[in-house]
Structure 1
Amino acid sequence: MKKVILIIGITLGLNPLFAQEDDLDISSDNAWLKAGVTAGVPVSDAGDFSSFTLGVDLRGQYLFNPNLGVGIASGYSNYFGEDENDDFGIIPLAGFIRYYFTPNGLFFGSDIGYGFLTGADDTEGGLYVNPQIGYHNRDWNIYAYYQNTFAENDIDIQSIGIGATYNIRFK
């Protein structure tokens, strides 16, 4: 219940960032889709059951100004089971915020939302956070991440890794 209240509080707190303006002009210069792949190493509880994670990353982003972008994120991360453990996965549904220092160069940001677990019997999912730091240009983002899903039953599904996304611009 605490996690549900936390998610609702964060959603309401971030709501002004996603508010629509009357003169919202979406173009290839301020909005695009991002599609890519991630690869990582499970740590903590997940490291006991899995040795590698591979996933897809899908995002829709809108830039408020050249430095601040917000959007929605989803995808799928598969955790490959080891020692007779089955594979399991996470499907995140999250909002994200990114800060770009310059038009090409360093960025940092984070996703926050809910991670739905697949292939797990004891839990359905939980609070999902995914801070990132990386390099970007007009077409690509390459980043390091730390992904954590605070699942039910005090299980934390964590991984660290790298990812790359390609920006698909609206025309």
Structure 2
Amino acid sequence: MKKLFLIAGLLGFSQLFAQQNDIEITPDNSWLKAGVTAGIPVGDASDVSDFNLGLSLRGQYLFTPYIAAGVASGYNHFFGKEGVDDFGIVPVAGFLRYYFEPSGFFIGSDVGYGFLTNVDNNNGGLYVNPQVGYHNRDWNFYAFYQNTFAEHDFDIQTVGLGVTYNIRFK
């Protein structure tokens, strides 16, 4: 069922891009977002980790002044508790965002696959990362809830804060 949601989400992203016939990439509608995150594991993940740090990289295209889509990746490092090795998640996802104003609040979510690192017998699973935050022309500050529905019924969940800087194409 999780794979079905992943496929449906990816098809939805591809249809959104396909409907745009005359896409022109400009500094006003497209940019990279590079950032950092910090979180506290919850649920199953809190049994094996107390803290996580991450790096993120996103490519965004603004379809209208209010709706954006793109691709997201990065690395989230979970620091293992005593006797547990550190592990990580490498997400490969698409994302949608809705900006209420040119500067102000936004909501959005990443949907894709989270690949696990340094975990035996578990490759990863469906990755979702809903966010709510504040943005301006250069910065995004947000709160997030991240969940990777990993194999063998092990969900890796974390809540935290993130910040990204917009790198404009010239």
Q: Distance in 1 between matches of 2:21 and 2:101?
A: 27
* C-alpha distance in structure 2 between counterparts of 1:164 and 1:13, whole Å: 27
The percentage of counterpart residues that share the same residue type is 64
Equivalent position SS for 1:65: coil
Structure 2 residue 78 is the aligned partner of structure 1 residue 73: no
Q: What secondary structure sits across from 1:26 in the alignment?
A: coil
Per-residue CA deviations over 1:77-121 (Å, capped at 9, x if unaligned) read 000001210000000000000000000000000000000000111
In the other structure, the counterpart of 1:170 is 169
Q: Which residue of 2 aligns with 1:95?
A: 94
Q: Distance in 2 between matches of 1:5 and 1:132?
A: 22
One-letter code of the match for 1:51? D
Q: Retained in 2: the 8 A contact 1:122–1:153?
A: no
Residue type at the aligned position of 1:122: N
The residue aligned with 2:40 is 41
Question: Whole-Å Cα distance in 1 between the matches of residues 34 and 159 of structure 2?
Answer: 19
Deviates more, 1:123-132 or 1:17-26: 17-26
Q: Using the alignment, how far apart are the partners of 1:48 and 1:143 within structure 2? A: 25
Whole-angstrom CA distance in 1 between matches of 2:71 and 2:116: 19
Shifted more, 49-58 versus 19-28: the winner is 19-28
The answer to whether the 8 Å contact 1:128/1:147 transfers is yes
Q: CA deviation at 1:161?
A: 0.2
Compute the TM-score of the two structures, normalised by the length of structure 1: 0.96
Unaligned runs of 5+ in 1: none
Give the C-alpha shift of residue 6 in structure 1. Answer: 2.3
Deviant stretches of 4+, over 3 Å: none
For residue 134 of structure 2, what is the aligned residue in structure 1?
135
Give, in whole Å, the separation in 2 of the partners of 1:160 and 1:146.
4
Aligned to 1:156: 155
Give the equivalent residue in structure 2 for 1:9: 8
Which whole-Å CA distance do the structure 2 matches of 1:108 and 1:162 have between them? 14
Alignment partner of 1:109 is 2:108:
yes
Match of 2:17 in 1: 18
Question: Residue in 2 aligned with 1:83?
Answer: 82
